[in-house]
Structure 1
Amino acid sequence: MARVLIVDDESDIRQAVAEVLAEEGHQVVSAGDGEEALAQIRAFHPELVLLDLMMPVMNGWEFRAAQKGDPDISEIPVVILSAMGRDGAIDADGFIQKPFDLEMLLAMVRRHASGGPSAPAAHHA
């Protein structure tokens, strides 16, 4: 079981992803923007962040810059979940374009979250 932080300004997406991950045995918290995500990352200590890019208050690019600038949280893997193509993506550990396939999402979580239920077996995209 991994601790996963979902950061997306669309509550329907946060809820749907949280439900799928919880069914797989993961602990999940969510945030609606980058500022809230920074508070959650420090309180929850996730093993993986699923990050939207286009959000109000603090967008994904600003969140990632703040995260990279803080040695206490800079090494937590980040997977981008965005409707933008890879051209808009930032330095991250993975990228999934919205709308996304749930199996692809689960495989990405297993690959990047060290505590994932099947982490050792997940070697493909």
Structure 2
Amino acid sequence: MLVVDDDEDLRRTVTMVLAEEGYRVLEAANGAEALSRLHDGPLPDLILLDLMMPVMNGEQFRRAQRADPEIAEVPVVVMTAAGSRAVEPMASLGLTRVLHKPVGLEPLLSAVDEVASGNERNGRAK
């Protein structure tokens, strides 16, 4: 699992919750850092991606990810405070799901469990 969000408190909270559920979780503060983590391997089962970040935003990250055959197939769930109009242009980028912030615990875990279980690379540590 890779959590990509520039909000450090949110990123760490999501990481802690997922780790408590048994997932191995990496963090990145922006899209550029996330690309670096993906290339350092191993590939995660899922990327939880914020849209609005400095350095490289979510849309720029997703375009770069899809252009790279080594990492293109890792599913992406967007977590965003942006409204639906901000997410609509990204529909063509193959997002698995969109969660609107603030994301509740149940919707987060449901999305993660569903997507990660269908794409098991290194999901749960247990």
TM-score, normalised to structure 2's length? Answer: 0.86
Deviation per CA, 1:25-61, whole angstroms, max 9, x where unpaired? 0000000000000011122311100000000000001
In structure 2, distance between residues paired with 1:36 and 1:74: 16
Q: For the aligned residues, what is the CA RMSD?
A: 1.1
Higher RCO (C-alpha 8 Å, min separation 6)? 2
Percent identical pairs in the alignment equals 47
In structure 2, distance between residues paired with 1:39 and 1:77: 17
Runs of 4+ in structure 1 off by over 4 angstroms are none
Which is strand-richer, 1 or 2? 1
Deviation per CA, 1:62-103, whole angstroms, max 9, x where unpaired? 000000100111110000000012221223110000001011
Which is helix-richer, 1 or 2? 2
AA matched with 2:10: I
Within the alignment, does 1:105 sit opposite 2:103 as a pair?
A: no
Report the secondary structure of 2:25's partner residue.
Answer: strand
Unaligned runs of 5+ in 2: none
- The alignment of Structure 1 onto Structure 2 pairs a total of residues equal to 114
